[in-house]
Amino acid sequence: MSAEMRNGATLIRRETWEKVTGEAVFAADFELPQHLEGKVLRSPYPHARIVRIDTVKARQLRGVHAVITADDIPNVRFGNGVADQPVLARGRVLFAGEKVAAVAAVDEDTALEALSLITVEYEELPVLADPLAAMREGAQVLHPERRNYRHNRVLEKIPGLEMMNIGDHARYGIGDVEEGMAEANIILEHTFRTQTVHQGYLEPHFTLVQTGRDKGVRVWTNNKAPFQLRGELAKVLGLPVTDIEVNYGFIGGDFGGKGAVMDEPVCYYLSKASGRPVQMVMTAREELLAANPRHATVITLKSGLKHDGRLLARQATVVFESGAYAGANSHPLVGGLRRALGAYRIPHTLIDGYAVYTNSVPAGHCRAPGDPQVFFAVESHTDLLAEAVGLDPYEFRRLNVLRPGELSPSGLKWAGINALETLDLAVERSEWGRTKNRGEKEEKGQKGQKGQETTVPPAISSDHREIEYISGKNKLPEANWKTSLGTYQYGIGMALTERATGLGGSAAVVAIHTDGSATVISGATDPGTGSQTILRHIAAQELGLPLAKISFRGGNTGMAPYDNGSGSSRVTHVTGQAVRLAAQDALNQVRELACAQFGCTQGELSYDHGLFKSPQGNSGTMAQIMAGSGRSKNIILGRGGYAAEKGESTCFSAQVAEVLVDTDTGQVRVLRVTAVNDIGQALNPAAVQAQVEGAVVQGMGFALNEELPRVNGRPQVQSLADYKMATAPDAPSVNSYLLEGSPGPGPFGSKAIGEQGIAATAPAIANAIYHAAGVRIFDLPITAEKVKKALDEKRTRKVGRERGEEKGQAGEKGQAGEKAGDRHEI
Amino acid sequence: MTGMRFKLLEPSTIDEALDFLAAADVPILAGGTDLLLKIKRGLIWPEAILSLHRIPSLYCLSYEEGTGLSIGALVTHVRVAQSPIVKEKFPALAQACALVGSPQIRNLGTVVGNLANASPAADSASALLALGAQVIVRNSSGVRQMSLPDFFLGPGKTSIRHGEIIEAITVPEPLAGTASVYLKLGRRQALEISICAAALSARRVQGHWQDVKLALGAVAPTPLLLPETASYLEGKEWTSEMLEQAGRSAAALSRPLDDQRASAEYRREMAEVLVKRCGLALIESAAGRNAHE
Ligand SMILES: Cc1cc2nc3c(=O)[nH]c(=O)nc-3n(C[C@H](O)[C@H](O)[C@H](O)COP(=O)(O)OP(=O)(O)OC[C@H]3O[C@@H](n4cnc5c(N)ncnc54)[C@H](O)[C@@H]3O)c2cc1C
């Protein structure tokens, strides 16, 4: 590894200039002559039978080249995991926003006018709006034909499930959970709910499809997994993959939302029907209504503990609301399911995961699919358990946290478990470590907390290195800051999470040019993360060349080698390793040339600081060697292929959040988040820090404000004005620490950061709110209104208590507090 | 873009503008931050739009001692929010304008447009109500003037008739010792339409508060002036309990709705909180002023 990397130098992204000046090419910048604008008519009803569609008037409108409904196209379904999505609704619509008809016209106005001329007669059907209701036996089945869908794993596993709305089910664990519960002194159960949220990318989905005379299909899109898209289109359209070429440019934000097949099939059929290229751009309203947001969940956690706080058993029931279709996911049960047990040592565990169809927008992948949901539940639950056994939340976590060599609660064996160090560093670097008397707060009324000393954590071991980055003012008002206007309670909370480095397969080519510069050719897309820079950097490191000498090419599936997409925190790891191997291969070929020129053997040849040297005293740079070899010899193409199927380590993440709760209004202000990430090795620290900051702000939005609410299946938010993503003034100060030293599977021992920084934020905030104001919110988002209501209820209870009306405390093996007890049977 | 094809009329005097309006009922364009949205959303399909931008007199933001403030129809939020004289003499208005949307919106959006759009949540509206502002309207027969409570009729409805243009808003010179404040509550710190807002203006005379004016935003079909609550506070030396009582009175007079942003119940509770806090803020500012003198 070079000094440049060891020093953690900031790598300047080559595309920054292009992006700032507007030169960078995004999908919507592609244009084809004679293209038509496509628009779709969407269902206003969450569940309805389509009685009749009349398109006659639309077809007659001047400038309209094609109008299609399900009757005009083959009966195909698509999807990444389960192919359950129709191109256009056939007979029934399953969510408000589903495509019912499509038009292609000379311009957008004409296309919209054509839509307004289409009449659809619907017969409304009862709406399955709640996943728990939808999974009950006897509920109306939304996908009765599921048996015929492609890739349906479930049906083989659990017979009879096709008669229900459970799209997938999984059950696993370790030990014997019943035995564990029987040995427990205390058993607590809590149910949490999380909401549907949008990924929040700025650039809307764009698709342009050209169907040629020669049967070939050319697609321009901002899909971040173009090779997967190509594969799925080939299956849906019944074409060989070589007949489909997917082109892409930079992607204007993804956060998981750009990996699903979106408008490509409908554009294809419009293009077929019109004989012209057809392009479609989703509006912001369509993005909120019908893209592929984060799954809403209902999560029940039940844990058994010893009096001293040791965890013995945990049972998790996780219901992911798939919505109308699960096709946007590579697997209907998203990866977060496995993490519903937390990062603790628990000998007896059991997870039950369900993916449930309802009449709502189909859910998809969103930054760390499943993790923010399950960790909000697990880490809120953890604080509740700590309180029940009279331990400080930090002490309780230290007691139970997974240590090196231990089996994860879902049965995985990881190398280099770094959880304790991650947690300790978060405490040490945050206010938590400085405020000894964290428990000293009136109104807490809990044993064991008052004035308790927090153990000062041990120093970080010497083989670990940390990188500090502080953004924002990092200034805090004093605890329980009082102004004349109101009372603001200060609170601090923590959370510990874990997510592995992503897996998958990738191939790469590294070409060395005659001037000694090099090009990385890869099929990995760059959704704004700087992946091109990191891939160039990895090649530069292997080739011993400066970053500026390395260029990047990709752009279409016809030319670039296979890559399975920029998702699940895998590009630096998987594509990076492929690039590294390709660079090694290329370098080796140049070494051969040098040996031939110098008349020495590979063993004798040295290469250092860009200079090849032989023992005989010959030397030459990469450029000289390339130039000195004849035309037929100096064609250097290094090849690399890499596949990772099983993860052997994970990345831990701990956050401490500090909040102020305005106890009159219930408003929460997040002041500061201290985030520690177990990064292995930061290849480009500035880019890593950017991922951490973005994740914290996105995690805060998920915690406090963002929501796509529905009333009986009808979407209530259809404009970005009502979708409350955090703005710059809402952002907290983010103090980020990267913990290096526990190597991961990526190049140079790197781990991952794209998704790892998000899941701890919501529970850390929820726990801080509890610390500040004594109210525990079990369902996200934690709006001011919910906090206010909980505060009012608490005050009423307190008055009741003071009057001596309080009933007996919840006993051992009993239920937790009144709200927490909302138990449900499945 | 759909519906975005229209004729742009650009008169260079108010009389010329009035002539256009007499000829056809076309919408008036100031900053366009409300109007263009309506067109984009397909709520209106105008064939022509009357832009005021070439009328120089409408850019005027002026203050005359003893008379007060005049805000021309093209004066943007940012100009009002940053004006030293507004900050000093009409702090509630400066605070309200500074809280509108985002920098981009404040650079384009006008105070007059904010009032004319007649949203119950319009930030400048409740501040201007509490400051006793008047609307100056021009039509073919001359000028008419009305107070704000007469101007707002309902959500999106004002007493402006076809063929009329708002020329300016005037705010009377505050009497000596007057202080004012505007507080806004929303789900985030910027780009936020109020869940509830309150503006309070009053002057302190020998320890007592006089000429009290209180207004609430986002809790009724129009921005709401509350003379009943104000008269309860009139002539008294305010205590915390009194302000709480005023809050309850204001909350009882409000008529909020449930919507996506908040429930009616929460809005009513917040009206109570904000009224009390406005009172406390005035007490604090008076204390600050005394300490200063
Ligand atoms: C993203 C965003 C955020 C926003 N945030 C806020 C906020 O936080 N608080 C808030 O209060 N508002 C907010 N708004 C609304 C809007 O910006 C304000 O109401 C603004 O003051 C409107 O002024 P304008 O000059 O843009 O009005 P325009 O859109 O030009 O006009 C608004 C209306 O007034 C009429 N009109 C304008 N001038 C005259 C005149 N001289 N005579 C008669 N009629 C006239 C127009 O015909 C139109 O009906 C926001 C808007 C957007 C798009």
d(CA A268, CA A801): 67
Give, in order, the Cα–Cα distances in Å from B43 to each of A116, A772, B4, B37, B46.
15, 45, 12, 9, 10
* The length of chain B, given as a count of residues: 293
B193: which chain A residues are within 8 Å (Cβ-Cβ)? 721
Name the minimum distance, in Å, from the CA of A60 to any CA of chain B. Answer: 20
Nearest atom in ligand 1 to B160's CA = 43
Q: Determine, for residues A486 and B1 on separate chains, whether the beta-carbon distance falls below 8 Å.
A: no
pLDDT over threshold 90, residue A161: no
Residue A196: name the closest of A712, A700, A762, A710 by CA: A710
Mean pLDDT computed over A10-14:
84
Q: Which 3 state secondary structure label does DSSP give A496? A: strand
Q: Look at residue A321 and tell me if it is in a domain.
A: no
Q: Identify whether the C-beta of residue A436 lies closer than 8 Å to the C-beta of residue A401.
A: no
User: A761 and A659 share a domain?
Assistant: yes
- Give per-residue burial for A52-73: e unless 16+ CB within 10 Å, then b: ebebeebeebeebbbbbbbebb
Q: Look at residue A509 and tell me if it is in a domain.
A: yes
Mean pLDDT computed over B154-181:
96
User: A410 and A521 share a domain?
Assistant: no
Q: How many Å lie between the centroid of ligand 1 and the Cα of residue B99? A: 14
CB B32 near ligand 1, within 6 Å: yes
Give, in order, the Cα–Cα distances in Å from A196 to each of A190, A297, A698.
20, 8, 14
Task: Summarize pLDDT for A419-452 with one digit per residue, the tens.
Answer: 999 999 999 999 998 764 454 443 333 333 333 3
B290 touches A: beta carbon within 8 Å: no
Q: Identify whether the C-beta of residue A295 lies closer than 8 Å to the C-beta of residue A175.
A: no
The yes-or-no answer on residue A755 being catalytic is yes
Name the minimum distance, in Å, from the CA of B280 to any CA of chain A. Answer: 6
User: A217 and A85 share a domain?
Assistant: yes
CB B43 near ligand 1, within 6 Å: no
User: A110 and A238 share a domain?
Assistant: yes
d(CA A395, CA A382): 11
Q: Determine, for residues B190 and A724 on separate chains, whether the beta-carbon distance falls below 8 Å.
A: no
**Minimum CA distance residue for ligand 1 atom 53:** B33
B1: which chain A residues are within 8 Å (Cβ-Cβ)? 108
CB B126 near ligand 1, within 6 Å: no
d(CA A451, CA A439): 5
A726: which chain B residues are within 8 Å (Cβ-Cβ)? 188
Q: Determine, for residues A664 and B273 on separate chains, whether the beta-carbon distance falls below 8 Å.
A: yes
A112: which chain B residues are within 8 Å (Cβ-Cβ)? 2
Lowest mean pLDDT among A16-20, A184-188, B180-184, B193-197: A16-20
Task: Summarize pLDDT for A457-510 with one digit per residue, the tens.
Answer: 444 444 567 777 776 555 454 434 445 577 789 999 999 999 999 999 999 999
Q: Which 3 state secondary structure label does DSSP give A203? A: coil
Nearest atom in ligand 1 to B186's CA = 8
d(CA A326, CA A168): 10
Instruction: Give me the pLDDT at residue A463, please.
Output: 58
Q: How many Å lie between the centroid of ligand 1 and the Cα of residue B163? A: 19
User: A222 and A249 share a domain?
Assistant: yes
Q: Look at residue A300 and tell me if it is in a domain.
A: no
Mean pLDDT computed over A758-769:
98
Residue of B nearest to A732 (CA): B189
Q: Look at residue A323 and tell me if it is in a domain.
A: no
pLDDT over threshold 70, residue A309: yes
Mean pLDDT computed over A144-166:
76
d(CA B186, CA A665): 10
Q: Determine, for residues B2 and A112 on separate chains, whether the beta-carbon distance falls below 8 Å.
A: yes
Domain boundary pick from A621, A644, A667: A644
Cα pseudo-dihedral B69, B74, B75, B76, rounded to 10: 150
pLDDT over threshold 90, residue A631: no
User: A215 and A226 share a domain?
Assistant: yes
Task: Summarize pLDDT for A230-241 with one digit per residue, the tens.
Answer: 999 999 999 999
Domain boundary pick from A266, A290, A314: A290
Q: Identify whether the C-beta of residue A681 lies closer than 8 Å to the C-beta of residue A750.
A: yes
> How far does CA A206 lie from the centroid of its chain?
21
User: A419 and A560 share a domain?
Assistant: no
Please state the domain count of chain A: 3
pLDDT band for A152, please (50, 70, 90 cuts).
low
B2 touches A: beta carbon within 8 Å: yes
Average per-residue pLDDT for chain A: 90
The reply to whether ipTM tops 0.85 is yes
Task: Summarize pLDDT for A352-404 with one digit per residue, the tens.
Answer: 999 999 999 999 999 999 999 999 999 999 999 999 999 999 999 999 999 99
Q: Is the dihedral of CA B262, B263, B265, B267 positive or negative?
A: positive
User: A662 and A763 share a domain?
Assistant: yes
d(CA A426, CA A433): 8
pLDDT over threshold 80, residue B290: no
For chains A and B, count residue pairs whose Cβ atoms are closer than 8 Å.
55
**Minimum CA distance residue for ligand 1 atom 10:** B122
pTM over 0.80: yes
Q: Look at residue A295 and tell me if it is in a domain.
A: no
pLDDT over threshold 70, residue A303: yes
Comparing CB atoms, the residue among A726, A730, A785 nearest residue B262 is: A785
Residue A701: name the closest of B204, B60, B145, B188 by CA: B188
Mean pLDDT computed over A677-682:
95
A699 burial level (CB within 10 Å; 0-12, 13-18, 19+): buried
Domain boundary pick from A290, A313, A339: A290
User: Residue A537's domain is classified under what CATH number?
Assistant: 3.30.365.10
d(CA A264, CA A767): 43
User: A596 and A666 share a domain?
Assistant: no
Name the minimum distance, in Å, from the CA of A484 to any CA of chain B. Answer: 6
CB B34 near ligand 1, within 6 Å: yes
Domain, as residue range, for A634: 3-24+504-644
Output the six-digit token pair for A383. 């604080």
Task: Summarize pLDDT for B98-115 with one digit per residue, the tens.
Answer: 999 999 999 999 999 999
Q: Determine, for residues A727 and B191 on separate chains, whether the beta-carbon distance falls below 8 Å.
A: yes
Mean pLDDT computed over A323-338:
93
User: A743 and A682 share a domain?
Assistant: yes
Instruction: Give me the pLDDT at residue A446, please.
Output: 37
Probe residue for ligand 1, chosen from B13, B49, B117 as the CB with the greatest number of ligand atoms within 8 Å: B117
Please give the share of chain A, as a percent, with pLDDT higher than 90. Answer: 80
Q: Look at residue A297 and tell me if it is in a domain.
A: no
Q: Determine, for residues B187 and A722 on separate chains, whether the beta-carbon distance falls below 8 Å.
A: no
Helices and strands of chain A, counted as H and E runs: 20, 32
List the single best residue of B269, B274, B280 to mutate versus A (max A Cβ within 10 A). B269
B239 touches A: beta carbon within 8 Å: no
* 471-490 in chain A: CB under 8 A from chain B: 484-486
Prior bond of A240 cis (ω within 30°) = no
> How far does CA A160 lie from the centroid of its chain?
32
Mean pLDDT computed over A192-217:
93
pLDDT over threshold 80, residue A801: no
3-state secondary structure A132-191: HHHCCCCCCCCCCCHHHCCCCCHHHHCCCHHHCCEEEEEEECCCCHHHHHHHCCEEEEEE
d(CA B165, CA B73): 9
Task: Summarize pLDDT for B110-133 with one digit per residue, the tens.
Answer: 999 999 999 999 999 999 999 999
Lowest mean pLDDT among A334-348, A456-470, A728-742: A456-470
pLDDT band for A803, please (50, 70, 90 cuts).
low
Comparing CB atoms, the residue among B3, B260, B277 nearest residue A716 is: B260
User: A425 and A557 share a domain?
Assistant: no
d(CA A304, CA A314): 6
pLDDT over threshold 90, residue A814: no
Q: Which domains are present in chain B?
A: 7-51 (3.30.43), 58-172 (3.30.465.10), 178-292 (3.30.390.50)
Q: Look at residue A356 and tell me if it is in a domain.
A: no
Mean pLDDT computed over A696-714:
97
Q: Look at residue A339 and tell me if it is in a domain.
A: no
Beta bridge partners, A53, equal: A120
d(CA A161, CA A139): 12
Task: Supply angle C-alpha B11, B16, B22, rounded to 5.
Answer: 115
User: A210 and A77 share a domain?
Assistant: yes
Q: For strand A348-357 and strand B68-72, is the pairing parallel, antiparallel, or unpaired?
A: unpaired
Lowest mean pLDDT among A80-89, A455-464, A576-585, B156-165: A455-464
Q: Identify whether the C-beta of residue A730 lies closer than 8 Å to the C-beta of residue A668.
A: no
